Structure 1
Amino acid sequence: MLKLTDVNAYYGYVHALKGITLSVPRGKIVTLLGANGAGKTSILKAISGILEVRDGHITFEEAHLTSVRPEHIVARGIVQSPEGRQIFPELSVNENLMIGAYTRTDKKDIKTTLEKVYGYFPRLKEREKQTAGTLSGGEQQMLAIGRALMAKPKLLLLDEPSLGLAPLIVKDIFHIIQEINKSGTTILLVEQNAYQALAIADYGYILETGKIVHRGPANELRNDEKVKQAYLGSL
């Protein structure tokens, strides 16, 4: 569904992504793991068209994305829920969600998607008229994911959805991610909670300083003693 082939990207003179090659098959959950600064978020930015790709190719459903503008990438079905949530705190829950649907042309279907989002996140339904800035951290994360779902993505990019959340909320978030995937949405998950991510993912990539250093089926990475000792303990 999504393929990156020998992708290189820079922030000024800093070589952020160094020959990244990976794929995300349709219907799967793929996770990117690594310490801060490893290049995980940079990969999502490159896919979304926010970070310019200097060399290499990105294709989605066989179409090249490398020079496509971010808003057109969203329209093609790739939607990101960013790190730090980045909700609109002064707007209501419902208004935040509706903003997520701004690229859609099937206006009659938006209400159906909204009800589906409220089905995943009943707490958002209870607070639909509440100002988003007054929500708890977990509720704001749910809102950020829900807003992304309003764009009806084929591929959902999730950047650190468990960051700063209590363990019980993290468990809820990961359960919902699985439910979203089971409903037919492919997911690329960036996460520092390595064990939790590998528990729900089908495949994983581990990054160090802009390079992929390990890859494999998630259950194999999770149970590989060398990977555990070298990476999972510090992620």
Structure 2
Amino acid sequence: MLKLRDVNAYYGYVHALKGISIDVEEGKIVSLLGANGAGKTSTLKVISRLVSVESGIIEFQERNIKNYSPEQIVSMGIVQVPEGRQVFPQLTVKENLMIGTFTRKDKDNIPNTLDKVYTYFPRLKEREKQIAGTLSGGEQQMLAIGRALMAKPKLLLLDEPSLGLAPLIVKDIFEIIKEINKEGTTILLVEQNAFQALQISDYAYILETGKIVHQGRANQLISDQNVKKAYLGA
């Protein structure tokens, strides 16, 4: 579904991505793991076209999207949930969700999607008239994911969905991510909580300073002694 080949990207003079190559198969959950500054978020921003590609190839469903605009990327079905949630704090829960539909052409189906989001996140239904800025951190994360789902993504990019959340909320969020995937949405997950991410992923890449240093099936990486020692706290 998605292919990156020898992608290089810069922030000014900083070489953020150094020739990375990634494959995301349709219907799978793929994780990007690594410490802060490893290049995980930069990879998502390159895919979303929020950061320019210096060189390399980015293909989505066999189309070269390297020079597409962010709006075109969303219209194609690639939708990102940003780190830190970034909900619109002065708008209601429902207004935030409806913002996710701005590229939709099938307006008649939007109510069905809204019902589906409320099925995943019943708390959002209970709070649909509440101002988003008054929600808890976990509820804002649910809202950010729900807003992305309103765009009917083919590929959902999740950037640190567990960041700053209590362990019980993290468990709920990861269960919902699995459910979203089972319903047919492909997921590329950036996550510092490597153990949690590997538990729900099919495949994973581990980045260090803009380079891929390990990759493999998640069930193999989670039992690899070197990976466990370096990234899983074992």
TM-score, with structure 2 as normaliser:
0.99
1:189 aligns with 2:189: yes
> Per-residue CA shift, 1:72-109, capped at 9, x if unaligned?
00000000000000000000000000000001111001
Correspondence for 2:137: 137
Flag structure 1 segments of 5+ consecutive residues without an equivalent. none
Counterpart AA for 2:200? I
> Per-residue CA shift, 1:6-63, capped at 9, x if unaligned?
0000001100000010100000000000000000000000000010000000000000
Mapped partners of 1:81, 1:173: distance in 2: 13
Counterpart AA for 2:179? E
Matches within 5 A, 1:64-83: 64-83=64-83
Correspondence for 1:126: 126
Correspondence for 1:9: 9
Give the CA deviation at 1:177. 0.1
Identity across aligned pairs (percent)? Answer: 75
Q: 3-state DSSP class of the match of 1:233?
A: coil
Q: 3-state DSSP class of the match of 1:223?
A: coil
Mapped partners of 2:166, 2:63: distance in 1: 40
Correspondence for 2:157: 157
Correspondence for 2:227: 227
Mapped partners of 1:43, 1:232: distance in 2: 22
* Moved >6 Å (runs of 4+): none
1:108 aligns with 2:88: no
Aligned residues: 234
Give the CA deviation at 1:231. 2.2
> How much is the aligned-residue C-alpha RMSD, in angstroms?
0.7
> Per-residue CA shift, 1:188-211, capped at 9, x if unaligned?
000001000000000000000000
Mapped partners of 1:226, 1:5: distance in 2: 26
TM-score, with structure 1 as normaliser:
0.99
Mapped partners of 1:166, 1:15: distance in 2: 34
> Per-residue CA shift, 1:145-186, capped at 9, x if unaligned?
000000000000000000000000000000000000000000
Correspondence for 1:178: 178
Flag structure 2 segments of 5+ consecutive residues without an equivalent. none
1:55 aligns with 2:33: no
Mapped partners of 1:109, 1:6: distance in 2: 39
Q: 3-state DSSP class of the match of 2:214?
A: strand
Mapped partners of 2:105, 2:231: distance in 1: 44
Give the CA deviation at 1:233. 1.9
Counterpart AA for 1:152? K
Correspondence for 2:28: 28
Give the CA deviation at 1:230. 1.9
